[in-house]
Amino acid sequence: MFGIGGGELFFIIIVVLMLFGSDKIPEIARTLGKGMRQLKDATNDIKSEIHKSADVDGIKKTFTEIGNNDTATSVSEEIAKVKEDIEDMSGPIKRQY
């Protein structure tokens, strides 16, 4: 970047005072401040939306990977086998009563 020295800054202030007058400077400064604040808020909103979108896409991708994973299927199969085994074991016990 470039730096502004003391002499250059003084020259800019003199030019601004000559163009606008001392009574208009505070109003111009307020307007510039409001404009910069709106620009900063808009930039932060855009960044926030991008981050939210990236997070949602990441979550969707994770669920898709889990859904396509053989681990979920094998866990479901194992649970079904355990249920069958429990039913087989509890069958004779229930008949005794």
Tell me the per-residue pLDDT of 4-26, one tens digit each, with 9 for 90 and over.
Answer: 788 888 888 889 888 888 888 88
Domain assignment of residue 1, yes or no: no
Helices (H) and strands (E) in the chain, counts: 3, 0
Domain assignment of residue 79, yes or no: no
Percentage above 90 pLDDT, the chain: 15
Q: Is-above-0.75 flag for pTM? A: no
Number of domains in the chain: 1
Domain assignment of residue 37, yes or no: yes
Nearest to 19 by CA among 9, 31, 11: 11
pLDDT given for residue 94 in this prediction: 54
pLDDT given for residue 38 in this prediction: 95
CB contact at 8 A, 17 and 25: yes
Domain assignment of residue 83, yes or no: no
Q: Which domain holds residue 53?
A: 6-69
**In the predicted structure, residue 81 carries a pLDDT above the cut 80:** yes
Nearest to 15 by CA among 32, 27, 51, 7: 7
SS3 44: helix
CA–CA distance, 88 with 83 (Å, rounded to integer): 9
37 versus 78: the higher-pLDDT residue is 37
Say which range, 44-53, 55-64, 72-81, 82-91, has the weakest mean pLDDT.
Answer: 55-64
Name the helix (H) or strand (E) containing 88.
Answer: helix 70-96
Instruction: Report the pLDDT averaged over residues 20-43.
Output: 90
Domain assignment of residue 16, yes or no: yes
